[in-house]
Every structure is written in structure tokens, then in C-alpha cells.
């Protein structure tokens, strides 16, 4: 009996260690929103709302975008898998409460495609990421506009240009509010600033009809 116990003891220790350090498959997938505060009901409600929308998208064979304004990332996803991430440098939004549900891309920046000339002896240059725009607008249905701009402007002039442009946009919003132009029916607008290469990468990855879900921060 003692001999049997002695034989099985190392085995049970090994087994216990394996169980202790093993990670179940679903846990290895990682958190849906690592920055979500599990003690904040507002955060939990928003996280659940986004997951509910994402479940509808992940059930179909397609790629979709998850714009996470809390974490400051845009995720290109399929089946719940994070395929690629883009870092948001800054963002502004109007009509935040209306950024719920699934938005589908209806218009994206045109791509200038080179044409093959069979009679030409030289090959046409292919399209590359550098051919993609760094500033553009994406339109969605239900009505929502996403302005994308690049954070690449360098130097004093670039800084002045960027700040002036931002200030001009701010003034327009202010003027609209003062004049009572903005109404509840106005479509939400999300303006996102991305590093130059990532703005091009987003333009490259979007396809017509691509669905988008947005995770919103809690309002103050």
C-alpha cells in the first residue's frame, strides 16, 4: 500500500501543478475590454451593449470595425478575433448618445487605380499603402460621418495649421449652437486623428458595407 502511495505521489503532484498552471482555451483569448471597470455599472452596461452588437457581427463571415473610444483604438475584427489595431491619437464627437447600434459604411475615399495597358512594355506600378489618403471622410448608414485626419504634421507651421483647423471646426460647432442651427436630427459626427500610416491603413482596410460598432465613454 505504501509502495503504491509512493508511486502515485509524484504523479499527483505533477497533475496538480499542470492543473494549477493550465489556462483554459477561452481565457487565452484575453479580455474583450481590458480597461473595463468591473465595478462601474455604466462601464459594464456600455461593454455589454457593444458585446451584444459584436455578437451579431461575429456570427457572420465578415470583417468589421470596433471603434473603442475608451481605449483609444480601432480594431479590425472577424469572429471576435482582433486582426489588427490602430491607435487613435485624438477624437471629438457630436451627438455621442446616438452612436449606438451597427453602422454600415456607404462611402469611402476613392482609390486612384492604375490601368494595365497591354500594348505598353513597362509594368504598371501596383497600389500600395502610401497611395491611400491620410485625410478623408467615411459615411455610414444610419447617418453618421467619420472624419479621419492625420497626426503627422511636423514643425511649427504644421502645428499652427493643425491647431487652426481644429479651432475652425470648434468655432463652426460653437456658431451652430449659438444660432440654434444644430437640431436633434443632425447626424452624429466622429472626428478621429490617427498617425499618418494608420490613417492610410484604415482607408486600405475598409470595404463597402463594412459594419462598425462604437464603444462610447461615459459622459461626465
181-220: contacts with other proteins (CB under 8 A): 182, 201, 204-205, 207, 217-220
By CB under 8 A, residue 87 contacts other proteins:
no
Given candidates 5, 119, 122, 185, which one binds other proteins under the rule CB under 8 A?
A: 119
Find the binding residues for other proteins in span 130-159 (CB under 8 A). Answer: none
Measured from the CB atom, the residue of 12 and 218 that comes closer to other proteins is 218
Query: What cell numbers appear for 217 in the block?
Result: 465613454
Q: Phi and psi (nearest 5°) for 191?
A: -105, 125
Largest CA distance in the chain: 91
End-to-end Cα distance, the chain = 68
Q: Which of 107, 124, 141, 187 binds other proteins (CB under 8 A)?
A: 124
Cβ proximity to other proteins: between 13 and 171 the closer is 171
Is 93 one of the binding residues for other proteins (CB under 8 A)? Answer: yes
Which CB, 10 or 126, lies closer to other proteins? 126
Binding residue (CB under 8 A) for other proteins from 48, 107, 141, 181:
48
Check binding of 118 to other proteins (CB under 8 A).
yes
Residue 171 within binding range of other proteins, rule CB under 8 A: yes
What span, in angstroms and rounded, lies between the C-alpha atoms of 36 and 70?
Answer: 9
Transcribe 127-166 into DSSP letters: P-GGGS-SSEEEEEETTEEEEEEE----HHHHHHHHHHHH
Binders in 10-39 for other proteins, by CB under 8 A: 25-26, 28-32, 36-39
32: exposed, middle or buried (Cβ count in 10 Å: 0-12, 13-18, 19+):
middle
Q: Do residues 217 and 70 make contact, with C-beta atoms less than 8 angstroms apart?
A: yes
177 part of the interface to other proteins, by CB under 8 A: yes
Residue in the block written with cell 499542470: 18
Site for other proteins in 61-80 (CB under 8 A): 61-63, 69-70, 72, 76, 78-80
By beta-carbon proximity to other proteins, the closer residue of 10 and 110 is 110
Amino acid at each position: 500500500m505504501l509502495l503504491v502511495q509512493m508511486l502515485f505521489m509524484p504523479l499527483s503532484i505533477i497533475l496538480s501543478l499542470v492543473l494549477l498552471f493550465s489556462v483554459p482555451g477561452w481565457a487565452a483569448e484575453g479580455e474583450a475590454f481590458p480597461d473595463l471597470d468591473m465595478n462601474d455599472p455604466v462601464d459594464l452596461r456600455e461593454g455589454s451593449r457593444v458585446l451584444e452588437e459584436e455578437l451579431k457581427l461575429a456570427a457572420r463571415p465578415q470583417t468589421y470595425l470596433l471603434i473603442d473610444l475608451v481605449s483609444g483604438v480601432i480594431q479590425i475584427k472577424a469572429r471576435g478575433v482582433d486582426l489588427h489595431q490602430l491607435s487613435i491619437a485624438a477624437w471629438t464627437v457630436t451627438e455621442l448618445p446616438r452612436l449606438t447600434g451597427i453602422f454600415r459604411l456607404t462611402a469611402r475615399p476613392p482609390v486612384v487605380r492604375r490601368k494595365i495597358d497591354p500594348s505598353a512594355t513597362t509594368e504598371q506600378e501596383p497600389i500600395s499603402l502610401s497611395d491611400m489618403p491620410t485625410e478623408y471622410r467615411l459615411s455610414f448608414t444610419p447617418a453618421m460621418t467619420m472624419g479621419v485626419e492625420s497626426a503627422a504634421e511636423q514643425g511649427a507651421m504644421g502645428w499652427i495649421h493643425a491647431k487652426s483647423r481644429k479651432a475652425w471646426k470648434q468655432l463652426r460647432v460653437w456658431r451652430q449652437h449659438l444660432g440654434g442651427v444644430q437640431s436633434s436630427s443632425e447626424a452624429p459626427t466622429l472626428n478621429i486623428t490617427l498617425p499618418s500610416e494608420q490613417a492610410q491603413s484604415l482607408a486600405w482596410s475598409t470595404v463597402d458595407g463594412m459594419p462598425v460598432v462604437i464603444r462610447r465613454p461615459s459622459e461626465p
